[in-house]
Amino acid sequence: MIPYWKTLALSLALAVVSGPVWAQATRTISNREARGDHAPVTVELHPGHGVTLNFRPVGAVVRRAWLDDPSQVTLDFDDTRCALIAAPGDCAATVIHLRRIQPLAFPGLPATATTTLTVVTDRDLYTFQLAFPNSGAPAYSILAIQPEAPSPYVSAILTTQIASPAGMRWVERGLLEAQRRNLVATGDPLWERIQALLEQLRQGRPLREAAQTAGVSEALVVRLAEFGRPDSGITQGR
């Protein structure tokens, strides 16, 4: 006869194996991937299931998030103030939950197979491509954004180009371009931090020190410089 404790252990093991293993599965992506530097990460939302975007590993605080097409998905935050349209500046979330819903009809909004989610945090800008498959099962329920150390090449660009007078102008123009794209607005905490960064640079502070003092990620500064540089991009150098 099999002892009771062995029977119980076997029953528990079978319950774990036979359960929905995707329920707590976590997909990990780098901060660079989440920003969509080359192409937005695709997040699949299956019927009856949601996906949680976890920004806590990178220490990012979500200030604003919006959908190009809100007809098929809802957003929820771990800070209830983020859902209040009247006070978007008070939002300080670290987690966003995406939930697929039955498509809604919005006058003047064309139906799309995918849509873009844009997230503005106190340090970075993120874009995700949302897809809505009607078959298959979700492979994960949590998408965790992980920090990454800047490469020596990126560090060299930061110290030799962006800290120069021309580099500061790129960042200034990039900030205006981000404003034009509705990624940041005058008076936002992120806007004020970029202004503090620029003031630090004008005082001759090294970029890394200026970014740390202002509370802005170096990767965000590079991206703004890419927005503002008139040629093909900062990473090509001169």
16 domain residue, yes or no = no
193 domain residue, yes or no = yes
What pTM was computed for the model?
Answer: 0.56
Question: Are 163 and 203 contacting, i.e. CB atoms less than 8 angstroms apart?
Answer: no
161 domain residue, yes or no = yes
Tell me the per-residue pLDDT of 60-108, one tens digit each, with 9 for 90 and over. 889 889 888 888 899 999 998 887 755 556 788 999 999 998 878 777 6
Based on C-alpha coordinates, what's the Rg of the chain? 22
Average pLDDT over residues 216-221: 83
38 & 140 share domain = yes
180 & 115 share domain = no
**Residue of 78, 88, 13 lying closest to 52 (CA atoms):** 78
**Residue of 232, 124, 111, 85 lying closest to 170 (CA atoms):** 232
130 & 161 share domain = no
Strand ranges of the sheet holding 73-77, from the earlier edge strand across to the other edge: 26-30, 142-146, 50-54, 95-100, 73-77
- Which of residues 105, 126, 146 is at a domain's end? 146
123 & 205 share domain = no
Domain count, the chain: 2
The C-alpha atoms of residue 222 and residue 150 are separated, in whole angstroms, by: 11
216 & 193 share domain = yes
Give residue 36's pLDDT.
Answer: 86
- Which of residues 146, 165, 187 is at a domain's end? 146
Domain that holds residue 224: 152-236
Tell me the per-residue pLDDT of 165-213, one tens digit each, with 9 for 90 and over. 988 998 999 899 888 766 778 888 889 999 999 999 999 998 889 988 9
122 & 73 share domain = yes
Question: Are 224 and 200 contacting, i.e. CB atoms less than 8 angstroms apart?
Answer: no
222 & 180 share domain = yes
For residue 235 the two structure tokens come to 């990473």
Give residue 19's pLDDT.
Answer: 37
**Residue of 209, 62, 66, 79 lying closest to 122 (CA atoms):** 62
71 & 119 share domain = yes
